[in-house]
Structure formats: C-alpha cells, structure tokens
C-alpha cells in the first residue's frame, strides 16, 4: 500500500484551489481522473485533504479516490520537486544505453529514480516511453525533451535548469 503523506495542509488550505477546479465539473464519477489531474497540476501532488474533498464532491468513497489515485502512474501522493526529470526507459532508449544515463543522473543528484532531492529542486522519474525513440536515449525536464543523451551531457543538461 502506498501511504498517504501526513502533510500540514488542511481542508481550509485546499478549499480555494479546489473550488476553482470543481467549478469546471458537474460532479459526475467519470470526471474523477480529470479532476485528479487538474488538482495535481495545482498542488504538484495530491494532498490527502484534497483527496477527501474530491471524494465528497463526487459522492464517492475515499477508498475509491485513493484506489484510482494509486492505480495510475501519473498521480503522486508525495510533493514533487520544482523540476521533474523523466528518463525514458523505452526499448529503443534501453538498447542505446539509457541505463547509464539514468545512473549518471542518480549519481549527480544523489537520489534514486522515484525520489526527490532534499531541497525540493528535482524529482527523478523513469517513464516507459516518451515516444521520441529516434532520438534515443532521451529524457525530459518538465515538458522539454532532450535527445541523444550521453553520460557526458548529463551535467550540461542539468546545468540548464540550475541556472533557471
């Protein structure tokens, strides 16, 4: 089971942002995934307090909201870093050495895939395929794609975001 993060956010803290999210929806069950996506876009994760409010809004058991949130890889129950780095582990990237690129990033950031740096700057994830296989091995930082990666280029690419 994936534990809910005990954060300090309360119902009052999430109400404003959620009210805006809910204003785009009718409160039907089929809206659960889009609501979770929009909520995550605002909080950068799914706070427990927000999930409780969503279950109330859709009149669904909290367990259902939790179940859907943990089923899909997109949803995060822990706060994410400022930059999200995704290293593609698709087949084309795998045979062209994405494993080494991932190891180099892990080394430079001092975290493993799935973790966030202590200063909340970077979250490192792996994805199955970003569909830019001809540029393998690839990685993305937020929505920017970097192709034909090498271990030597890692510092350069990470440097881009450090300056920002």
Partner 1 sequence: MSPEKPDSTTKQRTVFICQGTGCVSGKAFEITAALKAAVTELGLKDVNIDYTGCHGFCEQGPVAIVEPEGIFYTHVTPADAREIIESHIRDGKPVERLFYKDPATGEAIPYHKDIKFYNMQQRIILRNCGRLNPERIEDYIAVGGYASLTKALKEMNPEMVIEEIKRSGLRGRGGAGFPTGLKWEFCRRAAGEPKYMICNADEGDPGAFMDRSTMEGDPNTVIEGMAIAAYAIGASEGYIYIRAEYPLAVKRVRLAIQQAEAKGFLGDGILGSGFSFHIHVKEGAGAFVCGEETALMASIEGKRGMPRSRPPFPATSGLWGKPSNINNVKSLATVPVIIARGADWYAATGTEKSKGTCVFALTGKIANSGLIEVPMGIPLRKIIYEIGGGIPGGKNFKAVQTGGPSGGCLPAEYLDSPVDYESLTAAGSMMGSGGMVVMDEETCMVDIARYFLSFTQAESCGKCVPCRVGTKQMLDILERICRGEGEPEDIPRLERLGNDIKAGSLCQLGQTAPNPVLTTLRYFRDEYEAHINEKRCPALSCTSLISFYIDPDKCQGCGICLRSCPAECIAGDKRLVHVIDQEKCARCGTCLEVCPARFGAVVKVSGETLDVPAVPTPVKEKPKAAAA
| Binding residues vs partner 1 (CB under 8 A) | 28-34, 36-37, 67-68, 71-75, 89-96, 100, 103, 107, 127-136, 138, 143-147, 151
Nearest distance in Å: CB 127, partner 1 = 7
- Of 36 and 77, the one with the shorter C-beta distance to partner 1 is 36
Who contacts 109 (Cβ-Cβ below 8 Å, separation ≥6)? Answer: 85, 117, 122, 124, 158
- Of 14 and 93, the one with the shorter C-beta distance to partner 1 is 93
- Of 73 and 120, the one with the shorter C-beta distance to partner 1 is 73
- Of 13 and 115, the one with the shorter C-beta distance to partner 1 is 115
Nearest distance in Å: CB 23, partner 1 = 18
Nearest distance in Å: CB 95, partner 1 = 5
Q: Beta strands 83-88 and 122-127: pairing type?
A: parallel
Nearest distance in Å: CB 103, partner 1 = 8
Specify the 3-state DSSP secondary structure of 102. helix
- Of 16 and 28, the one with the shorter C-beta distance to partner 1 is 28
Who contacts 31 (Cβ-Cβ below 8 Å, separation ≥6)? Answer: 25, 58
Nearest distance in Å: CB 76, partner 1 = 11
Q: Say what the alpha-carbon torsion angle 2, 48, 139, 82 is, to the nearest 10 degrees.
A: -140
Who contacts 41 (Cβ-Cβ below 8 Å, separation ≥6)? Answer: none
What is the CA angle 93-89-46, rounded to 5? 145
């Amino acid at each position: 089971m994936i534990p809910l993060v005990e954060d300090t956010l309360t119902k009052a803290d999430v109400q404003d942002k959620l009210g805006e999210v809910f204003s785009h929806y009718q409160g039907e069950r089929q809206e659960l995934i889009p609501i979770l996506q929009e909520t995550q876009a605002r909080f950068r994760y799914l706070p427990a307090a927000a999930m409780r409010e969503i279950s109330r809004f859709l009149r669904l058991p909290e367990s259902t909201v939790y179940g859907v949130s943990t089923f899909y890889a997109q949803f995060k129950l822990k706060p994410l870093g400022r930059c999200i780095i995704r290293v593609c582990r698709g087949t084309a990237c795998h045979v062209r050495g994405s494993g080494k690129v991932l190891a180099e990033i892990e080394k430079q950031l001092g975290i493993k895939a799935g973790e966030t740096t202590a200063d909340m700057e970077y979250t490192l994830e792996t994805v199955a395929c970003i569909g830019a296989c001809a540029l393998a091995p690839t990685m993305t930082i937020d929505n920017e794609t970097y192709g034909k990666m090498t271990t030597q280029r890692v510092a350069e690419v990470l440097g881009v975001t450090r300056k920002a």
